[in-house]
Amino acid sequence: MIRALGYRAVQAVMVALLVGVLTFLMMQALPGDMAFRIAAGRYGYDAVNAQAAEAVRQELGLDQPAINAFGAWFMDLLRLDFGTSVISGAPVIDEIRHQLGASLQLAGAALALSLLIGPPVGVLAGLRAGGGLDRGLLLVSTALRSVPQFLMGLILIVLVSIHLGWLPAAGYGKPAHFILPALTLALGLAAVSARITRDAMAGVAASPFYAFGRWKGLSEPQLFRRHGLRNIGVALVTFLGLQFAMLVEGVVVIEAIFGWPGIGHALVHAIFGRDVPMVQGTALLLGLGFVVLNALVDLAAHWIDPRGNTEVRT
């Protein structure tokens, strides 16, 4: 276990270095004049012109070799300073805190909601593999999974907000604003986690030790608590780790539909506006976040199944 955590620590340092260098190189390799792109990002299409671009070039020293900027960024980073956004002028860390924070909140809510829906249904289906619920689940989860998220979002808005008038259609700032975007994401997630749980549960339920448990007189709930839960836990936790990572990156469409201030949206705009400090800071924090997430999944898997080599290398 110690070795595994040490491995993650080394991985974190490598990720930081690689992400810093790679994002910097990629931003340099993007086509177009950086000063013009930044001016367009700042002032919009009505006000970008050669004078504005020239002012940006002077202000940010873009006529200096780019390697100087990278050196300055790296030295700042050693002091845990992410610099300031070239578009808004605000500290990058504040922007990330707000926007990554909003994405994490939404992803967390979606994941929690999907946990309430997916695994319980999956367990019930897995215990009676081939039964009516199992076949119904296959149908519903396939259907939910194949509906594109933006369409699901629009359907929910029309249904819940327009026709029923129960929830705000979009926006940010109140607890009620969480529910529709989180539900949109959660339905897609639950469709998959229900299937994963169902397959794990069906495997466990068909195993000799499960049959033995039943034979020695344990009730179904007792049997599930003692022999079922832990055995499907590793597969589920590993999958949840993966899902969370995909969620944080992949909610751009949902953020756009629901007017949610997320990191995906921020990153896309930062790339269009050549906001190099913002892109570097965001990529770095996301990279480190995934390392931490993997470490947590390792720890959880180890706790669930302490039999030895269960580190999950994702």
Partner 1 sequence: MLSKLLASAAMAAVLSSAAFANDGVIDVVAPFEIKGADPVTSGNIYIKMDIAEPLVNADAEGRLMPGLATEWRVSEDGRTWRFYLREGVLFHDGSAFTAEAAANALKIARAKPGLLETAPITGIEADGTDLVIRLSAPFAPLPAFLSEYRSLIYAPSAYGADGSVTTVIGTGAYHVTRLDAPLRLEAEAFGGYWGPAPAINRVSYQAVGRAETRALLAESGDADYVFNLDPASVARLKSVENVDILSVSVPRSLLIKVNGAHPALTDVAARRALSLAIDRQGLAQAILRYPAGADQILPPSIGDWHSDAVTPLTYDPEAARALLAGLGWRAGPDGVLTRNGDRFSLTLTTYPDRPELPLSAAVLQQMFAEIGVEVVIDSTNSSEVAVRHADGSLDIALFARNFALVPDPIGTFLTDYAPTGDWGAMNWNNPEFNALIAALARGEGGQPARNRAIEILQADLPVIPVAWYQQTAAVSTGITGAVIDPYERTIGLRQIRWAQ
Which long-range contacts (C-beta less than 8 Å, at least 24 apart) are formed by 148-155?
149/184, 149/185, 149/188, 149/253, 149/254, 150/253, 150/254, 150/257, 152/184, 152/187, 152/188, 153/180, 153/181, 153/184, 153/253, 153/254, 153/257, 153/258, 154/257
CB of 14 to partner 1, least distance (A): 32
Note whether 28 binds partner 1 by CB under 8 A: no
Among 57, 177, 195, 302, binds partner 1 (CB under 8 A): 177
Note whether 116 binds partner 1 by CB under 8 A: yes
Note whether 139 binds partner 1 by CB under 8 A: no
Among 121, 200, 291, 301, binds partner 1 (CB under 8 A): 121
Options 12-20, 160-168, 201-209, 291-299: segment touching partner 1 (CB under 8 A): 160-168
Note whether 98 binds partner 1 by CB under 8 A: yes
Note whether 145 binds partner 1 by CB under 8 A: no
Contact 260, 106 (CB under 8 A): yes
Among 3, 45, 78, 216, binds partner 1 (CB under 8 A): 45
In the complex with partner 1, which residue's Cβ is closer, 26 or 90?
90
Note whether 55 binds partner 1 by CB under 8 A: yes
CB of 259 to partner 1, least distance (A): 4
Note whether 179 binds partner 1 by CB under 8 A: yes
Residue whose tokens read 């589920």: 236
Note whether 63 binds partner 1 by CB under 8 A: no
Note whether 157 binds partner 1 by CB under 8 A: yes
Among 12, 261, 289, 299, binds partner 1 (CB under 8 A): 261
Total residues binding partner 1 (CB under 8 A)? 64
Note whether 293 binds partner 1 by CB under 8 A: no
Among 80, 132, 164, 208, binds partner 1 (CB under 8 A): 164
Residues that bind partner 1 (CB under 8 A): 32-33, 36-37, 39-40, 42-53, 55-56, 87-90, 95, 98, 113, 116-117, 121, 140, 154, 157-158, 160-162, 164-177, 179, 183, 187, 256-261, 265-266, 269, 272
